[in-house]
Structure 1
Amino acid sequence: MHTSTTSTAALVPWTAEQLQQATQGHWYQGKAPIAAIKRILTDSRHAEKGDAFLALHGERFDAHDFVAQVAAQGCEVAIVSHPVDVDICQLVVADTRLALGHLGAYRRAQNTQLKVIALTGSSGKTTTKEMLGSILSRLAPTLITRGNLNNDLGVPMMLLELRAEHQYAVMELGASHQGEIDYTSNLVQPHVAGIINIGTAHLGEFGGREGICRAKSEIYAHITPSGTSIIPAADDFAERIAQAVQSKQVLSFGENGDVFASAIELQPQASKFSLNTPQGIRTVNLPFAGEHNVQNATAAAAFALALGITLEDIVQGLAQAQGAKGRLNFIQQDKHLFIDDTYNANPTSMRAAAEVLAQQQGIKVLVMGDIGELGTSAAQQHYMLGRDLVAQDINFVVAVGEFAPAAQEGARSTQYGKKMQAFLNQQQALPFLIDLIATHQPQSMSFLFKGSRYTHMETLMADLMETL
């Protein structure tokens, strides 16, 4: 991973005046801290002397209840939406959630040297973000969204980590409701922003792909006047997306786009292709498997080109890129290959993972957990997945979870129905997987584990590996 995201360099301290100015709050009873504040935290467990604790109010919790606790830990400043009966400097604001956004936006505005990329999409945004991180952090200190800090709380938290030496920031923006990306892209004020694709993730919240497209397209609203919009030329919503663009400069990627891949060679654990751009054509050796990752790389190249990065630097950065944990990580154990793709899943990425597995050696087994956030279409989506996955050049599909029976029904609607086994939980699936290895001795096997984050498919993978 990129060392630049976890630098030990000190954060820029805040003065009491800056906190007040950023949040438009007031110091309760006029009692403001004299010393500078080194960092703003929302996690009470880590708040200490020199910090300001920002008390969020959620549906199931109210962090105002923890102000006494942080005061006992030595923390002397709290940002609250109402005064608390604790002897601590309190900055009272209208809404602490919005105050967090104001603080992030303030920090962003202070870093005038910064070039910012913002990206969103239904699948591939984390991998594209890592590829961009690899390209840019070779050139200068770069802030890159960590984990899934991509919502209305995570984005400002990332902005609070900006330091004077950062030259670039790659911000991943997620959408779980209409208006969220409008809010976060306004905070980050990107120079380059765009959508990677419109898939089927979060179908439940948006009531269909049109709703997803509308929500993601909000990313184009806050690009700086001289900035560039990135659009996915091959996406079936490309025309709708192009209508949302407001910047003069536009760069498209994918088939029939300004930046596209040709002469693609897919290898079991890597790929090679020609990167075609307005600046010329170069060969890219990409240490990622799968056609979908070639597309992610062309997206990353388009974002980087829009920032003025040279083609040579892009090619070198892509060649050195590393996947995030749980994103198609290849683990060889004895003669068997385990592919850890457990970080998350949606219908599009599950199909892409099956294509990668089909490229591997030996007996090929896809172990799939449930996919969440599909709303009322969940059973139907799993049915279609089951139907499509067994048609791939793989030997077994083991479905685990509440929707495994729906996936199995889909598989049985084809001539490949016998490839699919369905289990309601991991405890039931494990003995079958152990038996599968035993019955195929001495052949080598390739397993790929994938599911939505809440299914914790990495646990099943680890349990199976321990039995070898």
Structure 2
Amino acid sequence: GETAELATVVQANIALINNAQREHQEFMTSVEAVANEHAAVLSALPMNGVAVFPADSDFCHVWRAAADGRRIIDFVLASPGNQISAAVTGQLLPNGKLQIKTEKGSIEVQLNTLGQHNLRNALAASAVALAAGLELQNIQLGLESFMPVHGRMQAKMLTSNHTVIDDSYNANPDSVRAAIDALKQSGLEAWLVLGDMGEVGEQGPAFHQEVGAYAAQQGITKLFTLGEQCQFVVQGFNDALNKQALTQSALHFKDVDQLLENLNHALGSREADDSVYLNILVKGSRFMRMERVVQALLEEAKTCS
């Protein structure tokens, strides 16, 4: 409930709403409440300000109403099932580049980030840059020079065929699902190391079960979880498993050292086979400090090299 007050202090002339997700649910109680809270930043804009938000959100009508006559630059990532028009439209090309179309023309960008959610982030940044008056070639240079910040989908090599993806900075149910999608896009074998998601309120067990089931459905081979709530992730994973899916397994730990011991053992048992490539995603809410797992894996790999 602080957005309106903070927006008055900042007095921005461009405001971006990137999404409305199941975050801060301990306090906000619903995604609609999150969307309405976000809308306050648009209502605080001067009348010559610019509102930026996704055109395909379930709550874009809320944000259009909050913009109330101000200029809008909306954005959307096109897909076969999503052909909504917007001021900034993105499409992932077969060569892996992101094509961005605007009223000023189009550019093709090679991003250094993983996942569909980061394609949308690039479109959001492009829309804000256009609102600020930047030219397309400068937007292209900026996007292509961007490198992921610490704990945000950073790929780090453990061995020649094992990569850890450090997404440890934070987690909510929707961002975990997006990270799993990004993990599976590579087509490689995928393991998930997940810590508790915070600020989930009474829906905590259900949210954790949900992401566990999703991980199983997406074909995560091994799941390692840490914390109190993540026992429900393992429960959801096991409940969703096909009885014939003998290659998938899940383990829960309350102690990070025990998790690391089992994770390193699992890694060691497959290092003899250098023909199989593996991505390991590490994620959790900030208070879980899941970067400890990333750092331990990197140190173990350095010791064994």
Contact kept in structure 2, 1:260 and 1:277, CA below 8 Å: yes
Change (3 A) 1:326 1:302: same
Aligned residue in 1 for 2:297: 464
Identify the residue that residue 436 of structure 1 maps to in structure 2: 266
Structure 1 segments of 4+ aligned residues over 6 angstroms from their partners: none
1:258 aligns with 2:87: yes
The question of 1:422 aligning with 2:252 is answered yes
Aligned-pair identity in percent equals 28
- DSSP 3-state at the match of 1:300: helix
CA distance in 2, matches of 1:363, 1:214: 40
| Equivalent in the alignment of 1:10 | none
2:108 paired residue number: 283
Question: In the alignment, which of 13, 17, 42 is matched to residue 220 of structure 1?
Answer: 42
Question: What corresponds to 1:372 in structure 2?
Answer: 198
CA distance in 2 between partners of 1:275 and 1:362 (Å): 28
Can you give the 5+ residue segments of structure 2 that lack an aligned partner in the other structure? 78-83
Given candidates 176, 181, 189, the residue that maps to 1:355 is 181
- Do residues 202 (structure 1) and 8 (structure 2) align? no
Write out aligned runs for 1:94-113 (5 A): none
Matched, 1:187 2:13: no
Larger gyration radius, structure 1 or structure 2: 1
Paired AA for residue 451 in structure 1: G
SS in 2 for 1:334: coil
Checking the alignment, whether the CA contact within 8 Å between 1:357 and 1:446 is kept in structure 2 is: yes
Alignment CA distance shift 1:320-1:391 (3 Å):
same
Q: Is the contact between residue 216 and residue 238 of structure 2 (CA under 8 Å) also seen in structure 1?
A: no
Greater relative contact order (Cα < 8 A, sep 6+) = 2
SS of the residue aligned with 1:254? strand
Deviations 1:103-148 (A, max 9, x none): xxxxxxxxxxxxxxxxxxxxxxxxxxxxxxxxxxxxxxxxxxxxxx
Q: Is the 8 A contact 1:361 1:446 kept in 2?
A: no
State the match for 2:80 in structure 1: none
Aligned-partner SS, 1:327: coil
**Cα distance in 2 between the residues matched to 1:339 and 1:254:** 26
Q: Secondary structure at the match of 1:325?
A: coil
What one-letter code is carried by the residue in structure 1 that aligns with 2:176? M
Structure 1 Cα separation of the partners of residues 6 and 93 of structure 2: 36
Once the two structures are TM-superposed, the CA of residue 356 in structure 1 deviates from its matched residue by 2.2
Size of the alignment, in residue pairs?
A: 286
Corresponding position of 2:70: 248
Give the one of 205, 226, 229 matched to 1:400: 226
Describe the shift of the 1:435–1:361 C-alpha distance in structure 2 as closer, same or farther (beyond 3 A).
farther
Tell me the C-alpha RMSD between the 2 structures. Answer: 1.8
Post-superposition offset of 1:361 = 6.9
> How much does 1:221 deviate?
2.1
* 2:52–2:74 contact (8 Å) kept in structure 1: yes
TM alignment of 1:280-319, pairs within 5 A: 280-319=105-144
Correspondence for 1:231: 53
The answer to whether the 8 A contact 1:364-1:394 is kept is yes
Report the CA distance shift for 1:210/1:362 in structure 2 as closer, same or farther (over 3 A). Answer: closer
Unaligned residue ranges in structure 1 (runs of 5+): 1-177
Question: Aligned pair 1:334/2:159, yes or no?
Answer: yes
Alignment partners' CA distance in 2, 1:217 and 1:312 = 31
Shift of the 361–249 alpha-carbon distance from structure 1 to 2, 3 Å rule, reads closer
Query: Against the structure 1 CA distance between its residues 428 and 239, is the aligned structure 2 distance closer, same or farther, given a 3 Å change threshold?
Result: same
